[in-house]
């Protein structure tokens, strides 16, 4: 019996020769942290085109608007020629299909991230079987960083140097100055 007949329906289609690998790295990025940037750098090395995509229809009230976050991300990823920035509405699985992406990249910091990420990856696979989620490990020096904690620390007067790229640190200081004056 041929192996091919044993493959389940909906299995990821084989890549065509010379097909460019497009990957999406989705998230809120409010704001981008050094950990996110580390994942972007790693991701840019394993695909031909990496789209960093900000979710638009978020229920949380963000510190930075989508356009501001897009501008900040664009500045920070300028050094990577195969990385671009976009935003999306609705389901990630549908967006990935529209963009011709084969991969969804997600960063995993610790085992605590895994449960949520696994659930999302399996749901996205069910919605769009041809798109694979790939988990990347950010450098261990970033494993404790989150956008939420960075915002809390800076609001309470703590030092966030190194936790976010320098231009983002400056933007955070400016934003909080505006908010407190
Ligand atoms: O950085 P975040 O906030 O953890 O990113 C979460 C994100 C944007 C990846 C996730 O909320 C998402 O994909 N939302 C789009 C809506 C969607 O597809 N929901 C079903 C997910 S299985």
Task: Establish if 73 belongs to a structural domain.
Answer: yes
pLDDT-derived band at 154, boundaries 50, 70, 90: very high
Answer yes or no: is 166 within a domain. Answer: no
If you compute the radius of gyration of the chain from its CA atoms, what whole number of angstroms results? 18
Q: Residue 27: inside a domain, yes or no?
A: yes
Atom 21 (ligand 1): residue with closest C-alpha? 120
pLDDT (mean) for 123-150:
97
**pLDDT recorded at residue 8:** 46
Of all protein residues, whose CA lies closest to atom 8 belonging to ligand 1? 27
pLDDT at 94: 97
**Residue-range definition of the domain harbouring residue 100:** 18-143
| Residue 155 falls inside a structural domain | no
Number of domains in the chain: 1
Mean pLDDT value of segment 156-180? 92
Q: Would the pLDDT of 1 be above 60?
A: no
Per-residue pLDDT reduced to its tens digit, 5-48: 344 444 556 677 788 999 999 999 999 999 999 999 999 999 99
Centre of ligand 1 to C-alpha 121, Å, is: 10
The residue among 108, 124, 88 whose CA lies nearest residue 12 is 124
Averaged pLDDT for residues 106-114: 93
Burial 59-97 (b: 16+ CB within 10 A, else e): eeebbbebeebbebbeebbeebebbebebbeeebbebbe
| Any domain includes 39 | yes
User: Domain containing 67 — which CATH number?
Assistant: 3.40.50.620
Residue pair 105/39 in contact (Cβ under 8 Å)? The answer is: yes
The dihedral region occupied by 54, where left means phi > 0, alpha psi between -120 and 50, and beta the remainder, is beta
Residues serving a catalytic function are 36, 60, 109, 147
Evaluate whether residue 151 is within a structural domain. no
Q: Between helices 166-180 and 147-155, what is the axis angle to 10°?
A: 50
Domain assignment of residue 108, yes or no: yes
CA 58 to centroid of ligand 1, rounded, Å: 9
Residue at 25 is within a domain: yes
CA of 93 relative to ligand 1 center, distance in Å: 10
27 CB near ligand 1 (under 6 Å): yes
Determine if ligand 1 sits within 6 Å of the CB of residue 146.
no
């Amino acid at each position: 019996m041929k192996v091919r007949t044993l493959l389940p329906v909906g299995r990821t289609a084989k890549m065509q020769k010379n097909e460019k690998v497009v990957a999406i790295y989705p998230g809120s990025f409010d704001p981008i942290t050094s950990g996110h940037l580390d994942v972007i750098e790693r991701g840019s090395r394993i695909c031909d085109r990496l789209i960093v995509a900000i979710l638009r229809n978020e229920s949380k009230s963000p510190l930075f608007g989508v356009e501001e976050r897009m501008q900040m991300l664009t500045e920070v990823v300028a050094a990577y020629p195969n990385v671009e920035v976009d935003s999306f509405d609705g389901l990630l699985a549908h967006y990935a299909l529209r963009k011709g992406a084969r991969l969804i990249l997600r960063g995993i910091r610790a085992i605590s991230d895994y449960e949520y990420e696994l659930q999302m990856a399996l749901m996205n696979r069910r919605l769009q079987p041809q798109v694979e989620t790939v988990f990347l490990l950010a450098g261990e020096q970033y494993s404790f960083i989150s956008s939420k904690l960075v915002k809390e620390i800076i609001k309470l007067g703590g030092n966030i140097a190194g936790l976010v790229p320098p231009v983002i640190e400056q933007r955070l200081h400016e934003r909080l100055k505006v908010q407190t004056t």
